[in-house]
Structure 1
Amino acid sequence: MSEAVTTDLYEVTMALSYLREGMTGPATFSLFVRDLPPDRGFLVAAGLEPVLDHLASYRVEPEDVDAFASVLGRPAGDLAPLLGLAFTGEVRAVPEGRVVLPWEPLLEITAPLPQAQLVESYVLNLVNHQTTVASKCARCVLAADGHPVVDFSLRRTHGPQAGYQAARLGAMTGYAGTSNVAAARAEGLTAVGTMAHSYIEVFDSEEEAFHAFARSHPGPVTFLVDTYDTENGVATAARVLHSLGLGPGCAVRLDSGDLGALAVRARAVLDAAGLPEVRIVASGGLDEFAVDRLVRSGAPIDVYAVGTRVGVSADAPYLDSAYKLVEYDGRPVMKLSSAKATAPGRKQVFRGPGCADVIGLHDESPPPGSVPLLETVMQDGRRTSGPGRSDRPGRLEAARRRFLADLGELPPEARRIASPVAPRAVLSGALTELAVRVRHRIERELLTA
């Protein structure tokens, strides 16, 4: 089976009905987030690259038809209209790394209706999860206020692929490295890591463990110092570093306890030992809130290693995202449900200075001083331009540059870690007028039904 079967059942039943009814006209679906989670002043668009990879290779194979038929309890022949269906449509999207706001389309897919419907669940999964984690990572970079941040999340993420994504998204938002070897190798990232407490425990003493580790790794080393008593561990690490003539590039790692107070004492021990260049790495349950408190306290921590709470975006693990039909066969459509109404028509987001955004129609001219965010990234089921799979580091670096540029444009209140205030996009006059016309049309049709 292919990844085409990774979908919700109702996508299959709807697509089959569309095909049997001959409803294969072009449909545009818009993917957006209605409201930000608590303590979020912005989102970072992510997940587009794997979405494009998925759509470019999308095809319903015979084994997929058998799987659909099996779960529906029907003969495979009933599902035959789906056989061979591939994605041949267009994708317009906000490039990865860009800051986005509520109600702004992250992407719009225009394709024959059955195709656009079948890919919904997979596309939503990729964009929802990765935008969630990228936004959490971005806030850690903000909280660190210039100190390096590294990713230690693999062992706690919801599956190995989620761990890979967390490493990639951290790098996209400015992390200095990751412990994830596969992600580091594939994405051209800096691999980082130290040792576990179990390593210390198998030796007769910390000093023996540190010497053994340094013999296997003659370059700069990082010693984990809190297995038994943190201050003694720092003093032992200092003796070993001195005896080996090591210093620049080396570090000690604090992984538990009052990290701020322990960092102060560790710094004093290292400085007294003549090792001012040895850095202090902090880890252990950190996220942007903890990092922000430590930075504001003046703790002498040089590097922050974040893992569990960031890799799963513990405080806000999902987004109020939606994938809604906005146009079918040239006819703008909208949903009128209370609290879940949508705006009709294909759209564009126009970004002004300070992230003063306007959501308009796709063919509108940009307001003065603004630029469009959504770009055409796929046509006829193929990427339109840019590097392919073979240049993952190049794609990632471009996304990082976009993120840093947009971050600089955000108002200070949106960048706050505690109680941020997100900018709100406004609708253009043309989009507002279209929404009124479509609403009136629907209401007339309801009255005459």
Structure 2
Amino acid sequence: MSVTDRIVNYLKNGEFASANLTDFYQLTTGAALTDMEGWATTGNMVLRGKGTETYGIMAGWRYILPAIADMRYDDAFIDWAQQLTNSLGQPKLDAGYLNRLRGLPLPITIDAIPDGSVIFPGPLARITGPALATKWVDTAINDITRRGISVATKVARLVWASGGKLALADNSMRRSGDVLGLMVGDICNAMGMPTSNMAVAQANGTKPAGTMDHWFLSLKVVQYYDAYPQANPLDRTTRIDALVYAYRSFIQANPADGALLLDLAPLEEGLEAAIIALQQTAPHNYAVRNDSGNLGTSAVYIRTKLDKAGLGQIRILLSGGLRAVNIFNLVEEGRPFFGAGIGEYFQPHAETKSKGPHEAPVNTEIVTKFGSGTSPSGKMYNSIKISDEPAKASRGGKLDLWVLTDPDAEGREARI
């Protein structure tokens, strides 16, 4: 099973299993739409602009379209809704209305900007169908597209920031979990970034990327002290011996294509132990990874020590809260590192939460607005919103979206 299919199945059994993943007003206002069943409506899905965002990359339709196909008002949801009462002690909603919804499909048509497209504030999709359907699905759709846009945009930022010169890898699965973790790995893989997510690697026939973790290193150090009860952890030489023991254990199990984590101890001790272990074992295609402290300064220090020890072939990986802006600065400063592991950056809004230089937020503020309604006789009505707040008011004129294409391809631009 492909990762995309796995995510789709997850959504079908989770977020899209029932039409209840939305706000209560969708149910209460729907009760007043039963006399408009012959009407077709259009909702415009729009990416809002705040003036601080840059470009975005569209992603998410590959999961949404197949997952939403079987969305229904399921029995458990209808049974729950029938138990709701108002302040008069009466049923909140008419039983006949709710029973008509039971098992009712949500037939809609979606015309959208394809995944992988560069996007800016403006229209993303047009959702057309019966009134009871189009207004119900936007919450579930918006949730997944927000996640997809966030991840894909960050991958694009990272590749740009690295100048295409670094080995970047997604290491976010433990932090993301569930469907977001799969989406991150799947989108990274689709955009050419390796991932440590084994489900993604297995499904796509790619090699997973990964190094070692603090948990493993800590456990092996404990094992060393258990084997040598007279060893004194307050003694620097003993601490280095314990780390050498841990590193050698990993190298023996992984004689090629590995990386040694340096920051379980102070960097000087971790690096000294790694150098000893690397000199003793001579593994193939290895690196060392620093996950804390001043990563730029430490990269220079590590490179100097490795070269002095005759280990010029050992490469340097950096990790630890890295964002695109950090990668850009490290490259601009000429820091001697080969690649980076990216983890928490793929969490929603993490680009603005980490310490350090400012990075513009990824724009994922999506709203779905009523666009038009077509009566049973075929007459179309357009709608505008008049508001005292200019940002919320509809703008006059047609809403245009320009999609840039390959200049060498036929049809250099298309307008929706």
Same fold (TM over 0.5): yes
Contact persistence 1:33–1:321 (CA under 8 A) = yes
Give the 5 Å matches for 1:387-426.
Answer: none
**Counterpart for residue 214 of structure 2:** 197
Determine if contact 1:350/1:370 at 8 Å carries over to the other structure: no
Whole-angstrom distance in 2 between the partners of 1:227 and 1:101: 43
User: Is the CA contact 2:171–2:343 (under 8 Å) kept in the aligned structure 1?
Assistant: yes
Question: Cα offset for 1:99?
Answer: 0.5
User: Does 1:322 find its partner at 2:361?
Assistant: no
Counterparts of 1:317 and 1:99 in 2: how far apart (Å)?
13
Are 1:334 and 2:371 counterparts? no
Larger RCO: Structure 1 or Structure 2 (Cα < 8 Å, ≥ 6 residues apart)? 1
Alpha-carbon distance change, 181 to 206 in structure 1, aligned in 2, over 3 angstroms: same
How far did residue 180 of structure 1 move?
2.7
Write the letter of the residue equivalent to 1:7: T
Q: CA deviation at 1:145?
A: 1.6
Percent of aligned pairs with the same amino acid: 28
Matched, 1:92 2:111: yes
Aligned to 1:268: 304
Task: Give the partner amino acid of 2:300.
Answer: V
Q: Which amino acid aligns with 1:64?
A: F
SS in 2 for 1:178: coil
Superposition pairs of residues 275-294 of structure 1, within 5 angstroms: 275-294=311-330
Deviation at 1:98, TM superposition (A): 0.8
TM-score by length of 1: 0.72
Encode CA deviations 1:269-317: one digit per residue, 9 max, x unaligned: 2223333232211001111121121111111111111221332232137
**Map 1:48-447 → 2, pairs under 5 A:** 48-71=61-84, 74=92, 76-103=95-122, 105-146=123-164, 147-157=166-176, 160-175=178-193, 177-186=194-203, 190-202=207-219, 203=221, 204=224, 205-248=242-285, 250-314=286-350, 315=352, 316=361, 319-329=364-374, 330-337=380-387, 338-342=390-394, 349-352=401-404, 370-372=412-414
Q: Do the aligned residues in 2 keep the contact of 1:29 with 1:116 (CA within 8 Å)? A: yes
1:31 aligned partner? 45
Measured at CA, do residues 28 and 169 of structure 1 come closer, stay the same or move farther in structure 2, by a change above 3 Å? Answer: same
Does the CA contact (< 8 Å) of 1:16 and 1:114 recur in 2? Answer: no
Whole-angstrom distance in 1 between the partners of 2:216 and 2:51: 40
Could you say if the C-alpha distance between residues 268 and 24 of structure 1 is closer, same or farther in structure 2, counting changes exceeding 3 Å?
farther
Matched residue, 1:361: none
Distance 1:145 1:251 in 2: 21
Residue 57 of structure 2 contacts residue 117 of structure 2 at CA under 8 Å; is this kept in 1? yes
| Residue matched to 2:238 | none
Per-residue deviation at 1:10? 1.4
SS in structure 2 of the partner of residue 106 of structure 1 = strand
* Counterpart amino acid of residue 118 in structure 1: W
Q: 1:134 & 1:24 partners in 2: Cα distance?
A: 39
State the shift of 1:328 in Å: 0.9
Using a 3 Å threshold, how does the CA distance of structure 1 residues 347 and 172 change in structure 2: closer, same or farther?
A: farther
> How far did residue 123 of structure 1 move?
0.8
Which string of whole-angstrom CA distances, capped at 9 and with x for unpartnered residues, describes residues 117-165 of structure 1?
A: 11111111111232123223321221122112212223333x5222222
Distance 1:86 1:372, change over 3 A: farther
- Quote the residue 2:31 is aligned against: 16
- The answer to whether the Cα contact below 8 Å between 1:141 and 1:173 also exists between their aligned partners in 2 is no
Q: Is the 8 A contact 1:283 1:304 kept in 2?
A: yes
**What is the distance in 1 between the residues matched to 2:415 and 2:83?**
43
* In 1, Cα distance between equivalents of 2:72 and 2:367: 24
CA distance in 2, matches of 1:59, 1:289: 43
Q: For the residues of structure 1 that align with 2:392 and 2:49, how far apart are their CA atoms?
A: 11
Q: Is the 8 A contact 1:27 1:328 kept in 2?
A: yes
Structure 1: unaligned runs, 5 residues or longer: 356-367, 375-449
User: Which letter maps to 2:367?
Assistant: A
Offset, 1:93: 0.9
Count of matched residue positions in the alignment of Structure 1 and Structure 2: 356
Q: CA deviation at 1:219?
A: 2.9
Cα shift at 1:319: 2.7
- Check whether the contact 1:27–1:110 (CA below 8 A) recurs between aligned residues: yes
User: Are the equivalent residues in 2 in contact too, given 1:23–1:113 (CA < 8 A)?
Assistant: yes
- Over the residues paired in the alignment, what is the CA RMSD in angstroms? 2.8
CA distance in 2, matches of 1:69, 1:347: 41
In 2, the alpha carbon distance for the partners of 1:181 and 1:275 equals 30
Deviation at 1:225, TM superposition (A): 1.2
Whole-Å separation in 1 of the counterparts to 2:66 and 2:405: 32
Q: 1:339 to 1:348 in 2, by over 3 A?
A: closer
Aligned-partner Cα distance in 2 for 1:264–1:255: 14
Counterparts of 2:398 and 2:38 in 1: how far apart (Å)? 18
Q: Which has the larger radius of gyration?
A: 2
* Aligned residues of 2:256 and 2:284 also touching (Cα < 8 A): no
Q: Distance in 2 between matches of 1:90 and 1:58?
A: 13
- Rounded to whole Å, the distance in 2 between the matches of 1:129 and 1:261 is 34
Secondary structure of residue in 2 paired with 1:222: strand
Displacement of 1:95 after TM fit? Answer: 1.0
Supply the distance in 1 between the matched residues of 2:199 and 2:19 (Cα, whole angstroms): 25
Matched residue type, 1:98? S
Deviation, structure 1 residue 318:
6.3
TM-aligned CA deviation for residue 184 of structure 1: 3.5
Whether contact under 8 Å (1:29, 1:326) holds in the other structure is: yes
Q: Which residue of 1 aligns with 2:59?
A: 46
